[in-house]
A and B are shown apart, each in its own frame.
Chain A
Amino acid sequence: MPMNPTPKRRLTIVLLILAAAAIAAVLVVVALQNNMNYLLTPSQVQSGEAGSYNTFRLGGMVKAGSIQRSNDSLKVTFTVVDAGGAMPVEYTGILPDLFRDNQSVIATGHMDNAHFIATEVLAKHDETYMPKELKDAMAKAHANKKIEDAAAAQDKMP
């Protein structure tokens, strides 16, 4: 159906401006893509991607059992791992509540002889929320399944 000429002209102008702004935004976002990544993972660091940065953020999981606290200071050492790499980290200071084994963390700092010296350590949590009982029940079910799988695998053995 026909529209009056004036609103039609305005519609065209507004849509053109919107399209131009959208294209500009996409270009900016794509151009910034490399700089907008908040962190590098241990395997990225080991493959040399951190070479151009003096300081950067290292992200990954705290390796279970790797946390070692100093007796006479706030110094902590731990290992941050991802799927394909591991990086020893040194930090002196207060850690967030969520810092523990197998927690995602993001450390800011610099490299020093294959060690990462952190000036800040942040804990990252995922998007899952559930009561503790449910988590425990799920962990238990998971463990049981592992045992069953192992038992089943053993049964199959000759």
Chain B
Amino acid sequence: MSNWIPLWLHKLGSPPTFYRFAGALQPWAMTLALLLGAIALYGGLVLAPADYQQGDAYRIIFIHVPSAEMSMFIYAAMGVAAFIALVWRIKLAEVVAMESAPIGAAFTFITLVTGSLWGKPMWGTWWTWDARLTSELVLLFLYLGVIGLYHAFEDRRQGARAAAFLAIIGIINVPIVHFSVNWWNTLHQGSTINVFGQSKMSWDMLWPLLTMMLATKFYYAASLFRRARTDLLAMEGGKDWVRKIAADEAKP
């Protein structure tokens, strides 16, 4: 293995270490996700004022935008893990990439459904083939493709490698989703939140939105840790460290 990867990363990449590490962090991540999510929902649905233009209907933004952001964030994370998995054949990277896909697909689905529910009263239509909506739908298909390809192989590691290729090629769609509203005329609005500049939202609406975006990150971490742990146990079934865990669990 290449010697320029720091030692701690190397250690974390070993299944038993990651299993313990993820097991220790998972409850904290989940607690933070639930706590922040509850604060964000209270802030967004109760404390935040109604919008001058859309009235109370805009409040679906507190679900829609964090989900949309996660759909791209998780794809990027999956792409990076898939890249590491393909080049260095690290088992943990395969697990992280493959277990990110269903979480990302769920967020993408929520994005499309909430967007549709929002579009009907405001725009006047459930769906339209503009660049933003279409590229987000393509993102969902990419996730489903990765999941499908992974499970199409008898050998899990072979499946993971094939799916990792699709994940890497599909990463090109992520900037297209993000910049679609700038590159083309779309029915969808432009970006409200600007990382490098003034966001186009008053602060009493913005803080619940940002809090929810943080909550979804923790949810992703918690969900990924849980899924990866299960997957590692299944993959490493015959190994000593798994035997030891099984023996410990079996003790009365």
Contacts and interface: CB of A to CB of B under 8 A. Distances in A.
Interface in B209-237: none
Interface string A46-83: 00000000000001000000000000000000000000
Given A120-B124, A134-B202, A135-B52, A37 B185 contact: yes
A14 B83 contact: yes
B249 to A, nearest CB: 36
Contact of A98 (B122, B168, B190): B122
A7 B54 contact: no
Interface of B: 1-4, 49-54, 57-58, 61, 83, 86-89, 121-125, 128, 130-131, 165, 168-169, 171-173, 176, 183-187, 189-192, 200-202, 204-205
Given A95-B124, A120-B125, A131-B202, A38 B186 contact: yes
A interface: dominant SS: mixed
A1 B202 contact: no
Contacts of A95: 124
B3 A1 contact: yes
20 contacts: A1-B4, A7-B2, A7-B87, A10-B86, A10-B87, A10-B88, A21-B172, A37-B185, A38-B130, A95-B124, A97-B121, A122-B123, A122-B124, A122-B187, A123-B124, A124-B123, A124-B189, A125-B54, A127-B189, A129-B205
B2 A1 contact: yes
Contact of B49 (A10, A39, A133): A133
Contact of B169 (A1, A17, A36, A130): A17
Interface of A: 1-4, 7, 10-11, 14, 17-18, 21-22, 25, 29, 36-39, 59, 95-99, 106, 120-136
Nearest to B180: A36
Nearest to A95: B124
Contact of B172 (A4, A22, A98, A133): A22
Contacts of B3: 1
